[in-house]
Amino acid sequence: METREKRLAALRSGVLGLALALMGMGLMRQEHREVLQKAVRICLECIGIG
């Protein structure tokens, strides 16, 4: 059981590390701005202003 738990912990750490790396890359490429612009556009269209 101990080996299985260690493998699971290593897998979780790897997935967390990958997720953080990909979020960092997205922030470096300024992708959060594009997502915000799209969200604003969709919201304005929903209420009939855009």
pLDDT tens, position by position, 32-47 = 999 999 999 998 888 8
Kindly indicate the confidence band of residue 6, based on its pLDDT and cuts at 50, 70 and 90: very high
Cβ pair 44, 50 in contact under 8 A: yes
Encoded tokens for 46? 């929903």
C-alpha to C-alpha distance for 38 and 48, rounded to whole angstroms: 15
pLDDT of 31: 95
